[in-house]
Structures are given as structure tokens and as C-alpha cells.
């Protein structure tokens, strides 16, 4: 399937597809081959300003005047078009991100439902009457959109993260500017082709491409942008918080993680092994909620590790275009270097890195790293504390429940946690004690568009998805009317 355009991808600003103001383009690669896949026009600061202005005008003239039924109809139409083009978009993600095609197809399956869900939830954008103490006044609330929202995405799940930000922002009545990662912009460009066909008025959705330090920074600091929804690294998130502080903008941050998977001695071990292996392999471990600290009770450590190692030996690392591949490359040379550096750091601090599976054939030209366990890790090692964002897990033993809880919370992050136990009381105690935004018991953490998601501690601020996403995308006005 020929899914990549041969001409440089243009920016979508208002009703125009245009080149960047200075005519500059940048390359985006296929990480499985390290070859250039396509060129993309880079926005200048003036282009960003033009996109914000287009979104602002579209908000004032059209979008803020639409009613829920109109917005719902457009989102449902977009869902249909997405379904029509889903396979094409999945192939683009496979070529640009390096996800095995089976995984790309699977991860995009829910996107039409996400769009339809937020179309259906639009009636929740409403206020209520408040029975205040004074009977003489009518006191009510209005839930109103915020205006122009900047949606900034990372490279690991370009499409699912875009759709899950875009759908509630539009449903709530905002206009948006999408800023995909400069590493993986292509699937967002394919999505951008659908807005006009779906019937969205020009300017309701705009797309700008380029580096975060210039394009992203200009976008988040633009005075007409009232909300920033950012997914990416904690350092970038903190920077965005600082650069938007003086304007007191509404900011939602979905940041990094170092999630624990806790295996008690009464766990269903095969299931726990499947979740641990899945988190190591899926998207080459480049998943914010992936469990990267395996906390295993001493009494089942050898049994659990034996089964996990057998599973990992069978992993097929290779071309993401091959449906038989379990794990593709990392997204970039930078990411590969970062992961390999952390494996060295782990070894120097006393852990024992072991790699599994094999990189097959010609695939070796790309940015591949085999699944790696850091055996004999200690909780305070840098490799067990810092986000690596690759196919690497630290293995740490614990004695009892209280030590397991202590180790689970011994992290600056708090995105997700998984625990396996058959003891219901213990499961509930742990779920309450764990400091993270998501907890999964006897199953893996799988985010979905209809349940709230967001981190504790340095994993973020605010929630996305579900009804919470509508609240995050609106502001509440209280009106008092003395009758
Ligand atoms: P990143 O922080 O480097 O970049 C993310 C996006 O921010 C990119 O589009 C980039 O261009 C932009 N950006 C960079 N500097 C900016 C600035 N000063 N102002 C505005 N925008 C700027 O992250 P990444 O390397 O693309 O992605 C990996 C990170 O994303 C990991 O830390 C991972 O945990 C995190 N992540 C979190 C979640 C979540 O939901 N919590 C989901 C996926 C990924």
C-alpha cells in the first residue's frame, strides 16, 4: 500500500494547505531502515501566529455558535472517515514510528469509537441550577468552552493521543491547533486530510509542524491560546508550565512514568508473565504506562523469572511491516543511544543486563534494541528510577506487602501500577496505598477513551479521556440572578 506522499507535507492553516514561511523542510525517517521516509514543511513563528489567528477567528465566527447536534454530527462523520482510512493510517504509523503492523491496526481500532463517544457526550457540556440558601435568587452554572486549544503530541502513539485530545476539545466547543512530534508527524497529516471532507469549517482544526523549542514554544505562549494539552516528557512539561505561567493558561500535562508491576506469591503467574512481557515488547517499550519496574516477591522470583525469560526468548524482533514481528525498532537513533546508555549505566551500578530474542535479517540497519531485563536491580539505582522509554525492565525482589508498597511508591512518577494477587483484601489495600493515577489488578493497564487517565506526582497534571476530558476542556461560570 503506497501511503506516503512524495511531495513535502504542508501545514494546515485555516482553509489553506501551505508551505512554511521560509520554505524550510525537515526529514522524517523510517526507523526500521534509518532511511528518509518523507519531507515535512517546517512552520515559522509567523505560521504559528497565523494558525492561532485562524483558530481564533473560526472560534468567534463559527464554532462557538454551533449547537451540540451540529458538533456531534461532524465528529460522527469524522469517525466514519477515520474507519474508512484506518488501515492506511496504521501503515503510516508502522512506517514512521516502527510499530509492528499488527499493533498499529489494533491500537487504531478504538479511534472511531472515541470520536463517536465524544460526539455522544456533548450533552454533558451543560450547567445546573444550584439550590443556594437565598430563595430569592436564581443561581445557575454555565459550562463554556475555553477558545483556542494547543494540542501537543509526542512520537510514541501519535494518532491515538491526537484523537483522544482532539475529540473532547472539539466536542466541548473549542477550536484547536495540532502540533505533532517532529519525529513522527505523518499519521497526523493523514488525519488532517479528513477534516474538510468531514465538513468542519476552515480554521476549526489547524496543524503546524516543526521543533518543540521554536514551533511548540511559540504556540504555547501565544496570548490567544487559552489551553495547552501536552503529552510528552516531564522536563518539557515543566518547561511548558513555566512558559505559560505568566498568562495563567489552563494546562493539562500527561508526562513520563516508571510504573511498577507487583507480583505477589499467590499471583496467577502466567498472566503476570504475559503482562510483563507485553509491556516490555509493545511499541518497543516506548509506552508511558509500561511497567518498567518488576517487583517480585522473593518466594516466587525464580519461578516468575524462568517463565518470563522463556517467553522473551521467543520474541521476534524485526521488520514492523511483517505481521509475524512481535517487536520493531525504537523510534530514532537518539532513542536507541539513550536506551543503550541506560543499559550501560545499569551495569555500572551493579545490575545484570540480559537481552533476549534476536534481531532478524536486514532489519538490523534500523534502530533496534532487543528486550532487556536488568536482573538484580536495586530500587534506588538510576536505571530503576529514571524513565528509559525502551524495552528495558528492572527486576527487584521484595519480602512482604509493606515493602512492596514502599518500593512501588519509591518513584518521582505516579502514572500507573499493576499488581497480581489472589488476596482480595491485599488488592484493595494496595490499590488504595499506591500513589498513581491508574491501578490495574490482575490485568495490565490499558487506557481507554472513556475512562479518565492522568498521572500523580511528576507524571502530570489534570485528566484526559472520559467525562473528565469534557471538564478539562471547559470552564464553569456561576450566574446569580436576583429576581
Ligand atoms: P518531548 O517532551 O520531547 O516532546 C513532546 C512534544 O512536545 C513534541 O511535539 C515536541 O516537539 C514538543 N515540545 C518540545 N519542547 C517544547 C516546548 N518548549 N514547548 C512546546 N512544545 C514542546 O517527548 P517525546 O520524546 O516526544 O515523548 C516521550 C515522552 O512522552 C516520554 O517521557 C513519555 O513518558 C511521554 N508520554 C506520556 C504519555 C502520558 O499519557 N502520560 C503518553 C505518551 C508519552
Over residues 79-108, the pLDDT tens digits come to: 999 999 999 999 999 999 999 999 999 999
Closest ligand 1 atom to residue 232 Cα is 30
143 Cα to the center of ligand 1, angstroms:
29
Closest ligand 1 atom to residue 239 Cα is 18
**Pocket lined around ligand 1, Cβ cut-off 6 Å:** 152-157, 179, 181-182, 211-213, 216-217, 220, 231-233, 236, 239-240, 254-257, 288, 387, 389, 415, 455, 460
Return the residue whose CA atom lies nearest to atom 42 of ligand 1.
288
User: By mean pLDDT, which of 131-135, 292-296, 366-370 is the weakest?
Assistant: 131-135
Q: Are 473 and 174 in contact (CB under 8 A)?
A: yes
Q: How many CB atoms lie within 10 A of CB 22?
A: 12
Greatest alpha-carbon span in the chain: 79
Percent of the chain with pLDDT over 70: 99
Can you tell me the mean pLDDT for 289-310?
Answer: 98
Q: How many CB atoms lie within 10 A of CB 128?
A: 11
153 Cα to the center of ligand 1, angstroms:
6
CA distance 161 to 256: 14
Which pLDDT score, from 0 to 100, does residue 350 have? 98
- Predicted-complex ipTM score: 0.97
CA distance 437 to 445: 11
CA distance 74 to 382: 48
Which pLDDT score, from 0 to 100, does residue 363 have? 58
Closest ligand 1 atom to residue 447 Cα is 40
Distances in whole angstroms, Cα of residue 252 to Cα of each of 52, 117, 125, 241: 19, 21, 19, 9
Q: How many CA atoms lie within 13 A of 348 on its CB side?
A: 8
Measured in degrees and rounded to the nearest 5, phi and psi for residue 3 equal -115, -5
Which pLDDT score, from 0 to 100, does residue 362 have? 59
What is the crossing angle of helices 158-171 and 186-198, to 10°?
A: 30
Distances in whole angstroms, Cα of residue 219 to Cα of each of 212, 228, 240, 286, 415: 9, 9, 10, 26, 26
**pLDDT band for position 124 (cuts 50, 70, 90):** confident
- Which grid coordinates belong to 250? 489552563
- What secondary structure does DSSP assign to 29-89, as a single string? EETTTTEEEEEEEPP-HHHHHHHHHHHHHHHHHTGGG--HHHHHHHHHHHHHHHHHHHHHH
pLDDT digits over 237-247, tens only? 999 999 999 99
Which pLDDT score, from 0 to 100, does residue 77 have? 98
Q: Are 346 and 374 in contact (CB under 8 A)?
A: yes
Per-residue pLDDT at 130 exceeds 90? yes
pLDDT digits over 178-228, tens only? 999 999 999 999 999 999 999 999 999 999 999 999 999 999 999 999 999
Which pLDDT score, from 0 to 100, does residue 8 have? 98
Return the residue whose CA atom lies nearest to atom 12 of ligand 1.
212
Question: In the predicted model, what is the mean pLDDT of the chain?
Answer: 97
Q: Are 445 and 438 in contact (CB under 8 A)?
A: yes
Classify burial at 201, counting beta carbons within 10 Å of its beta carbon; exposed 0-12, middle 13-18, buried 19 or more. middle
Closest ligand 1 atom to residue 335 Cα is 25
Return the residue whose CA atom lies nearest to atom 22 of ligand 1.
212
Query: DSSP state, 7?
Result: S
pLDDT digits over 355-381, tens only? 999 887 655 689 999 999 999 999 999
User: By mean pLDDT, which of 126-130, 307-311, 324-328, 361-365 is the weakest?
Assistant: 361-365
CA distance 469 to 451: 9
Q: Which residues are catalytic?
A: 254
**pLDDT band for position 129 (cuts 50, 70, 90):** very high
Which pLDDT score, from 0 to 100, does residue 135 have? 79
Q: Are 414 and 258 in contact (CB under 8 A)?
A: no
**pLDDT band for position 434 (cuts 50, 70, 90):** very high
> Ligand 1 test: best mutation among 236, 331, 416, most atoms within 8 Å of CB?
236
**pLDDT band for position 18 (cuts 50, 70, 90):** very high
Specify whether the backbone of 236 is left (phi greater than 0), alpha (psi in -120 to 50) or beta: alpha
**What is the pTM for the complete model shown?**
0.97
Per-residue pLDDT at 476 exceeds 90? yes
> Ligand 1 test: best mutation among 233, 249, 437, most atoms within 8 Å of CB?
233
96 Cα to the center of ligand 1, angstroms:
17
Classify burial at 67, counting beta carbons within 10 Å of its beta carbon; exposed 0-12, middle 13-18, buried 19 or more. exposed
Return the residue whose CA atom lies nearest to atom 13 of ligand 1.
212
Amino acid at each position: 500500500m503506497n501511503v506516503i506522499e512524495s511531495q513535502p507535507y504542508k501545514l494546515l492553516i485555516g482553509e489553506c494547505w501551505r508551505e512554511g514561511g521560509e520554505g524550510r523542510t525537515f526529514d522524517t525517517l523510517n526507523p526500521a531502515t534509518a532511511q528518509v521516509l518523507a519531507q515535512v514543511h517546517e512552520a515559522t513563528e509567523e505560521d504559528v501566529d497565523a494558525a492561532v489567528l485562524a483558530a481564533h477567528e473560526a472560534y468567534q465566527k463559527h464554532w462557538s455558535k454551533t449547537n451540540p447536534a451540529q458538533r456531534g454530527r461532524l465528529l460522527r462523520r469524522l469517525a466514519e472517515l477515520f474507519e474508512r482510512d484506518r488501515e492506511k493510517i496504521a501503515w503510516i504509523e508502522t512506517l514512521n514510528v516502527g510499530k509492528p503492523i499488527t499493533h498499529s491496526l489494533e491500537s487504531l481500532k478504538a479511534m472511531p469509537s472515541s470520536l463517536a463517544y465524544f460526539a455522544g457526550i456533548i450533552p454533558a457540556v451543560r450547567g445546573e441550577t444550584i439550590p443556594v440558601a437565598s430563595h430569592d435568587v436564581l443561581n445557575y452554572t454555565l459550562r463554556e468552552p475555553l477558545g483556542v486549544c494547543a494540542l501537543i503530541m509526542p512520537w510514541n502513539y501519535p494518532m491515538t493521543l491526537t484523537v483522544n485530545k482532539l475529540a473532547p476539545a472539539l466536542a466541548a466547543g473549542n477550536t484547536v491547533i495540532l502540533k505533532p512530534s517532529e519525529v513522527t508527524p505523518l499519521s497526523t497529516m493523514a488525519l488532517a486530510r479528513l477534516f474538510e471532507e468531514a465538513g468542519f469549517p476552515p480554521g476549526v482544526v489547524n496543524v503546524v509542524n516543526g521543533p518543540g523549542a521554536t514551533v511548540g514554544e511559540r504556540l504555547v505562549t501565544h496570548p490567544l491560546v487559552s489551553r495547552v494539552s501536552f503529552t510528552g516528557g516531564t522536563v518539557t512539561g515543566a518547561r511548558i508550565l513555566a512558559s505559560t505561567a505568566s498568562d495563567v493558561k489552563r494546562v493539562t500535562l500527561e508526562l513520563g512514568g516508571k510504573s511498577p508491576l507487583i507480583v505477589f506469591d499467590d499471583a496467577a503467574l502466567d498472566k503476570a508473565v504475559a503482562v510483563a512481557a507485553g509491556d516490555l515488547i509493545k511499541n518497543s517499550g516506548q509506552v508511558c504506562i509500561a511497567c518498567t519496574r518488576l517487583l517480585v516477591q522473593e518466594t516466587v522470583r525464580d519461578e516468575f523469572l524462568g517463565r518470563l525469560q522463556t517467553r522473551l526468548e521467543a520474541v521476534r524482533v524485526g521488520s514492523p511491516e511483517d505481521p509475524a514481528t512481535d517487536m520493531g525498532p525504537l523510534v530514532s537513533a537518539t532513542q536507541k543511544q539513550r536506551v543503550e546508555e541506560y543499559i550501560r549505566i545499569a551495569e555500572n551500578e551493579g545490575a545484570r543486563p540480559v537481552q533476549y530474542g534476536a534481531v532478524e535479517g536486514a532489519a538490523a540497519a534500523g534502530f533496534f534494541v532487543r528486550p532487556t531485563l536488568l536482573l538484580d536491580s536495586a530500587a534506588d539505582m538510576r536505571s530503576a528510577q529514571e524513565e528509559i522509554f525502551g524495552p528495558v525492565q528492572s527486576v527487584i525482589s521484595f519480602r512482604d506487602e509493606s515493602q512492596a508498597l514502599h518500593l512501588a511508591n519509591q518513584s518521582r512518577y505516579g502514572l500507573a501500577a499493576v499488581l497480581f494477587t489472589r488476596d482480595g483484601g491485599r488488592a484493595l489495600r494496595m490499590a488504595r496505598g499506591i500513589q498513581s493515577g491508574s491501578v490495574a489488578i490482575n490485568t495490565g493497564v490499558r487506557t481507554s477513551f472513556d475512562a479518565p487517565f492522568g498521572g500523580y506526582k511528576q507524571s502530570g497534571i489534570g485528566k484526559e479521556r472520559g467525562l473528565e476530558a469534557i471538564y478539562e476542556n471547559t470552564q464553569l461560570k456561576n450566574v446569580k440572578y436576583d429576581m
